[in-house]
Amino acid sequence: MKMSKWTVGIVTISLASIFFSGCWEEGGKGGEKGVEMKIYIIPIGDVEQDPLLRLSWALREKFDGVFEIGERIPLSEDTYRPERRQYFATPLMGDLKKSIPKDADKVLGVLDVDIFVPALNFIFGQADLGGKVALISLTRLREEYYGNNENRELFMERTLKEAVHELGHTFGLRHCANAKCVMHFSNSLMDTDVKEADFCENCRKELELRIK
């Protein structure tokens, strides 16, 4: 998908299935026919609105449901580690879990600070495997972070990939060995750029089964 074709629109979007057409007809949310799942995109701290809106539109092509931008929650300074100049992702996930809307099936937190977990120098995102909550950071997805000129289209491509990847984890999908699959682990930004924003055939089939 070319990012130039994305349209910024309303915050709440009723979505039609593209990849999983008809998967709600037999089962759907809670086994009820015609009931769509609801996924909230929740900004954490100071996050530009435009990427959130564009992301909510782009995600409609990957998942079937209603995407809504939720109420912003504060970025806890208690999660900042000055010796690393980064924010600790695990307690941020805890804060996000406390802010899950009652009608949410999944929640994607989006923040624009550098994040980490102790085992890694940095992470692009984190998710509860098979759970409700996922998190992505926009900071290292920007070309400006590396001293390069701004590339808005590339930034949004990376953002979509990381969002789909982390939401995929919430549906129980694990890392995929296929370097082109969106569920492939990104050890570096190069890995993110190499992979596509789509699920490989095996991951797509597994996702269909889990959604049903």
Q: What is the pLDDT along the chain (212 residues), one digit of tens a residue?
A: 333 333 333 333 333 332 333 322 233 344 344 568 899 999 999 999 999 999 999 998 898 888 999 999 999 999 999 999 999 999 999 999 999 999 999 999 999 999 999 999 999 999 999 999 999 999 999 999 999 999 999 999 999 999 999 999 999 999 999 999 999 999 999 999 999 999 999 999 999 998 87
* C-alpha span between 107 and 131 (Å, rounded): 10
Q: Which residues of 110-149 are buried (b: 16+ CB within 10 A; e: fewer)?
A: bbbbbbbeeeeeebbbbbbeeebbbbbbbbbbbeeeeeee
* C-alpha span between 115 and 164 (Å, rounded): 18
CB 62 within 8 A of CB 164: yes
CATH number corresponding to 9-151: 3.40.390.10
Structural domain boundaries in the chain: 9-151
* C-alpha span between 26 and 36 (Å, rounded): 12
Active site residues: 166
* C-alpha span between 9 and 200 (Å, rounded): 29
pTM (2 d.p.)? 0.83
